[in-house]
Amino acid sequence: MARLDVKKTYKLYIGGDFPRSESGRSYPVSKADGTFWANASQASRKDARDAVRAARAAFAGWSTKTAYNRGQVIYRIAEVAESRRDQFEAELRSAEAITAAQARTYVDAAIDRLVFYAGWADKIAQVVGGANPVSGPYLNHSAPEPSGVVAVVAPAGPLLGLVSVVAPVITTGNTCVVIASEPHPLTAITLAEVMATSDLPGGVVNVLTGSVAEIAPWLASHLDVNGLDLTGVTDPDLARTLEEAGAENLKRIRRPGLEDLLAPPPLDRMTKFLETKTVWHPMGV
């Protein structure tokens, strides 16, 4: 007789822990073939609130780490993910009706994207900042700083989609709350397990699974959230509502829309959630 599988309970990832939704709710997730896969936690507004609190608490530490250190941590996520390639491939094939080769392409691209951003951590300031030649006896320079806490609605694409929106946001020192793809939340939690074992401080990335339409408005209107990435919002009315809600504290908002994820990513995945700080100082004796 075949051995009975030990199935995994998929929970949320908040502040480095894996809690169930405080609401006690879950929703069934099916495989591509329609069979039951697992129950995902269905996050509530209070889970979203807790996730924002965790992200805010992590911001000071994460944003003031050296860029080199942040790069190392993100590279470490790639390393740990690499060791789980087979698992991710299997999950992608279960989630989406794709071939093994396709699954491998997405997994490799996701891991390579992490490596790509790991290398960006200590380059971005030089690329988008610099000295400004003002007409006076002043040292004047501009440098990017992270906006703060960014709420992200991840696109479809259980792994590469998630990595493509989360990695650029945290590379520059932001912390985030990400709502995983609603139909494909489970890989996001597997990736969270990778992050939880990759030197990434708890709270830098917080993963919620559940209903975008239910959770996103709470994040969009939350006054302690500084940025909103709507990449994964597919309903234009919802996107407009979220953008309107985000106006209340002038969140930096990236509107819906997804580039070809296998192509080199656009720079504004990072720059949208960066502030430019310009510092002046007189030069004299």
Partner 1 sequence: MANKSQPFEYAPAPESRSIVDIKPSYGLFINGEFVDGTGKSFKTISPSTEEVLAEISEASDADVDLAVKAARRAYTRVWSKMSGAERGKYLFRIARIIQERAREFAVLESIDNGKPIKETRDVDVPTVAAHFFYYAGWADKLGYAGYGDDPQPLGVAGQVIPWNFPLLMLAWKIAPALACGNTVVLKPAETTPLTALLFAEVCQQADLPPGVVNIVTGAGGTGRAIVSHPDVNKVAFTGSTEVGKAIARAVAGTDKRVTLELGGKAANIVFDDAPVDQAVEGIVNGIFFNQGHVCCAGSRLLVQESIADEVLAKLKRRMKTLRVGDPLDKNTDIGAINSAEQLAKIRELSEIGEAEGAERWSPKCDLPSTGFWFPPTIFTGVSQAHRIAREEIFGPVLSVLTFRTPKEAIEKANNTPFGLSAGVWTEKGSLILWAASQLRAGVVWSNTFNRFDPASPFGGYKESGYGREGGRHGLEPYLKNDGAR
Partner 2 sequence: MTTTNSTVSSVSEATASDAALRRFLHGLPGVDQVGAEQRAAGLGTRSIKTSAKAFAIDLAIQMVDLTTLEGSDTAGKVRTLAAKAMRPDPTDPTCPATAAVCVYPDMVPIAKKALKGSAVKVAAVATAFPSGRAALDIKLADTADAVEAGADEIDMVIDRGAFLSGRYLEVFEEIVAVKEACQGAHLKVIFETGELQTYDNVRRASWLAMLAGAHFIKTSTGKVQPAATLPVTLVMLEAVRDFREATGQMVGVKPAGGIRHSKDAIKYLVMVNEIAGEDWLDPDWFRFGASTLLNDLLMQRKKLTTGAYSGPDYVTLD
Interacting residues toward partner 1 by CB under 8 A: 127-128, 130, 132-136, 138, 140, 142, 147, 226, 236-237, 239-241, 243-244, 246-250, 252, 255, 264-268, 275-282
Among 31, 102, 138, 201, interactor with partner 2 by CB under 8 A: 138
283 binds, among partner 1, partner 2, none (CB under 5 to 8 A by kind): partner 2
In the 8-state DSSP scheme, what is residue 189? Answer: H
- 283 makes contact with partner 2 (CB under 8 A): yes
Q: Under the criterion CB under 8 A, does residue 34 sit at the interface with partner 2? A: no
Closest distance of CB 269 from partner 1, Å: 10
- Choose the stretch contacting partner 2; rule: CB under 8 A; options: 135-143, 147-155, 163-171, 253-261: 135-143
Q: Which is nearer to partner 1, 41 or 147 (CB)?
A: 147
The answer to whether residue 282 forms part of the interface with partner 2 (CB under 8 A) is yes
Which residue, 95 or 220, is less far from partner 1 as judged by CB? 220
Quick one: what does residue 250 bind among partner 2, partner 1, none, with the CB cut-off 5 to 8 Å set by partner type? partner 1
Name the binder of 246 from partner 1, partner 2, none, CB < 5-8 A by kind.
partner 1
- Measured N-to-C along each axis, helices 212-221 and 236-246 cross at an angle, to the nearest 10 degrees, of 20
**Site residues for partner 2 per CB under 8 A:** 136-138, 282-285
